[in-house]
């Protein structure tokens, strides 16, 4: 199973009522030109379709022969734990809804007639897929960031309340300290006197929201008193509900790092 990469959304609809499959496909594709609906009549063939082709969301009936919608959901979650799955059933009950939620269903909707109903269903599908894609992108960004931090390719820092809240080993090594010593220090303590006013103004502007991005060169200060040529990148973020500045520092001094 591979997720679609463009703006279109491919929906797999599984229901043993063949007439309803065609009606749902036509109505959903009329409700939104982003939706492309394919269908299967059993959960077993639905699993085969998932394994063979790109699908962004599963829309499944509950009452089906061989494997019902909840059993189908369990099988889907075993292989594709975060794939949007909407239970779309004519047999609505609080018990079924509760079981579906416990099993990890993305959303739940009872079948109804009328164009407005299909507009609601199309909106649920688009919302579920948009959330899934955003979460997937966020995970990818976090993983890339984690690799960056762990590999110590560049110095990473987080400044809040006038002090370092986090630095990685590379940032500490660039300045000749260990991480525990730098956390809690003012960032200005690691800047040469000639650049402290400029760095102070830049931090104040970013924390105030006047400018989001950082990209400039500064003269940093090593623990031994020597000067470092640092290239700074980063910007304003919200950390624990408060403004902060997070970024990276690249040492252009051409020296070996020492602690």
Give tens-digit pLDDT for 50-77: 999 989 999 999 999 999 999 999 999 9
> Which DSSP category does 222 fall into?
-
Q: Which of 53-67, 77-91, 144-158 has the highest mean pLDDT?
A: 53-67
What is the Cβ-side half-sphere exposure of residue 195, based on CA atoms within 13 angstroms?
21
- Please give the structure tokens belonging to residue 188: 């200005």
What's the CATH number of domain 152-251, 3.40.50.1820, 1.10.443.10, 3.30.450.20, 3.40.50.970?
3.30.450.20
**Phi, psi at 81, each rounded to 5°:** -65, -25
Nearest to 13 by CA among 116, 134, 122: 122
Beta bridge partners of 199: none
What is the tens place of the pLDDT at every residue in 122-147? 999 999 999 998 888 777 766 766 66
Nearest to 129 by CA among 97, 108, 103, 106: 106
Confidence of residue 1 (pLDDT cuts 50, 70, 90): very low
- Print the SS3 string covering 35-85: EEEEEECCHHHHHHHHHHCCCCEEEECCCCCCCCHHHHHHHHHHHCCCCCE
Q: Check whether 5 has a pLDDT greater than 60.
A: no
d(CA 125, CA 131): 10
Mean pLDDT across 225-245: 88
Nearest to 243 by CA among 162, 155, 130: 162
Q: What is the pTM of this model?
A: 0.58
Confidence of residue 203 (pLDDT cuts 50, 70, 90): confident
**Where are the domains positioned within the chain?**
9-147, 152-251
- Please give the structure tokens belonging to residue 51: 């394994």
Q: Check whether 174 has a pLDDT greater than 80.
A: yes
Count Cβ atoms below 10 Å from residue 163 Cβ, excluding itself: 15
Q: Check whether 165 has a pLDDT greater than 80.
A: yes
What is the tens place of the pLDDT at every residue in 99-113? 888 888 999 998 888
Residues 6+ apart with CB under 8 A from 31: 115, 118, 119, 121, 122
Contact predicate 187/163, CB 8 Å: yes
Q: Check whether 114 has a pLDDT greater than 90.
A: no
Contact predicate 87/105, CB 8 Å: yes
Q: State whether residue 201 is helix, strand or coil.
A: helix
> For the domain bounded by 9-147, which CATH number is listed?
3.40.50.2300
């Amino acid at each position: 199973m591979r997720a679609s990469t463009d703006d279109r959304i491919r929906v797999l609809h599984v229901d043993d009522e063949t007439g309803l499959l065609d009606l749902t496909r036509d109505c959903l594709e009329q409700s939104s030109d982003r939706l492309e609906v394919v269908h299967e009549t059993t959960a077993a063939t639905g699993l085969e379709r998932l394994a063979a082709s790109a699908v962004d969301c599963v829309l499944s009936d509950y009452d089906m022969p061989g494997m019902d919608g909840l059993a189908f959901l369990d099988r889907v979650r075993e292989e594709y734990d975060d794939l949007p799955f909407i239970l779309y059933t004519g047999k609505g009950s609080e018990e079924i809804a509760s079981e579906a939620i416990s099993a990890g269903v993305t959303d739940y909707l009872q079948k109804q007639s009328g164009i407005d109903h299909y507009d609601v269903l199309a909106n649920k599908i688009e919302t579920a897929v948009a959330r899934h894609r955003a979460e997937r992108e966020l995970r990818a960004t976090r993983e890339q960031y984690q690799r960056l931090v762990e590999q110590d390719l560049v110095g990473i820092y987080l400044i809040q309340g006038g002090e370092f809240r986090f630095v990685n080993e590379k940032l500490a090594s660039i300045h000749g300290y260990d991480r525990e010593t730098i956390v809690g220090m003012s960032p200005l303590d690691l800047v040469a006197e000639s650049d402290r006013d400029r760095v102070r103004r830049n931090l104040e502007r970013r924390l105030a929201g006047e400018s989001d991005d950082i990209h400039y060169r500064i003269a940093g200060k090593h623990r031994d008193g020597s000067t470092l040529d640092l290239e700074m990148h980063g910007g304003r973020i919200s950390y624990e509900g408060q403004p902060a500045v997070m970024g990276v520092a690249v040492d252009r001094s051409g020296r070996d790092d020492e602690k």
